[in-house]
Structure 1
Amino acid sequence: MNPRSTDMPHTGDGPLTPDRLRRLPSRVLGIAAAHADQLVSAGLAAADARKWHYAVLVALHDLGPASQATLSRRTGIYRSDLVAVINELTSRGLVERAPDPTDRRRNVITMSPAGRGALDRLDALVAALQDDLLAPLAEPEREQLVELLARLVDHHGGRVAPPAG
């Protein structure tokens, strides 16, 4: 049987899916996470951005200038991948890279004024994407969902490999 046949939903879930599978937390989380990832990635791509761009800009805005190693820890982006992200943001004039005055062997990354403007636009876009993702939920339910998911992540020590992208 072809897994892409017309009677099988592309999400892997639908009216033909056994209820036991539809109620399996790990499966439901996985499907919801895949949908969220696709929605946010597509929305950011339409704005010529990526999730990692947004993560770096948020970290710099909220926590201030940082070395590449510190940014890696703050965002969960592998150091080797972070270099490419910083290069992209630097080429767009959104961040600046300068030698650390206390240790010339490392760089400090700072958000530029253009980066602050880009972050404002991306914040509005990401908020709209979150509203789309969580449309069936009332505000208290949204807050509860985030709280419950954060508890799961915290319980498992945040041991999640950063997504590619």
Structure 2
Amino acid sequence: MGPAALRTAPSWLINQVATHAGRLVHDGFAAHGARGYHYRLLAALHEHGPASQADLGRRCGIDRSDVVAALNELAARDLVRRTPDPDDRRRNVVTLTEPGRRELDRLTTTLDQIQDTLLAPLTPADRTELTRLLTALLDHHRQ
């Protein structure tokens, strides 16, 4: 495969779009003083309710030490609360606070705007088809 053919290879194209999408998300969240880990943790707490730090890490696919660091940052901003687990005092239960819910709403709005920017040249039908195709690829390679 020559250099010109490389630029039309699906793997190269996916990587280029993913890099651009990553920059958009990073910059959008950074404008709120947040990172992707923050969004993932807040969204998981909103969707599933209070959880241990270990469960959050597993649910979000975040390494244990990164979960602790991200939760420290969120707790310092009063976006989450950590309390001892009544069943096991060695564990903490993490709960989303009301300011955390509002921050999640702001980050979700930002993420929606980023999606619109990233996918601007695509019609709604194209966006649906792209999501279907990417989901099929991801599901296949997760097995």
Would you call these one fold, judging by a TM-score over 0.5?
yes
Q: Which runs of 5 or more residues in structure 2 are unaligned?
A: none
Residue 71 of structure 2 aligns with an amino acid whose one-letter code is I
Match of 1:154 in 2: 139
**The 10-residue stretch of structure 1 (149-158 or 80-89) with the greater mean CA deviation from structure 2:** 149-158
Q: Does 1:118 align with 2:103?
A: yes
Q: Does 1:144 align with 2:107?
A: no
Match of 1:5 in 2: none
Match of 1:89 in 2: 74
Q: Does 1:133 align with 2:118?
A: yes
Q: Does 1:108 align with 2:98?
A: no
Deviation at 1:19, TM superposition (A): 3.8
The equivalent position to 2:23 in structure 1, one of 38, 52, 59, is: 38
Listed one character per residue, the Cα deviations across residues 23-57 of structure 1 (whole Å, up to 9, x for unaligned) are 21111111111000001101110111111111111
**The 10-residue stretch of structure 1 (116-125 or 138-147) with the greater mean CA deviation from structure 2:** 138-147
> When you count helix as a share of all residues, which structure comes out higher?
2
Distance (Å, rounded) in 2 between the aligned partners of 1:133 and 1:122 = 16
Distance (Å, rounded) in 2 between the aligned partners of 1:138 and 1:124 = 20
TM-score scaled to structure 2, two decimals? 0.93
The equivalent position to 1:75 in structure 2, one of 41, 60, 72, is: 60
Distance (Å, rounded) in 1 between the aligned partners of 2:21 and 2:30 = 14
Name segments (4+ residues, structure 1) moved above 3 Å.
Answer: none
Distance (Å, rounded) in 2 between the aligned partners of 1:151 and 1:69 = 29
Residue 40 of structure 1 aligns with an amino acid whose one-letter code is V
Match of 1:49 in 2: 34
Deviation at 1:155, TM superposition (A): 1.4
Q: Which runs of 5 or more residues in structure 1 are unaligned?
A: 1-16, 159-165
Superposed CA RMSD in Å reads 1.5
TM-score scaled to structure 1, two decimals? 0.81
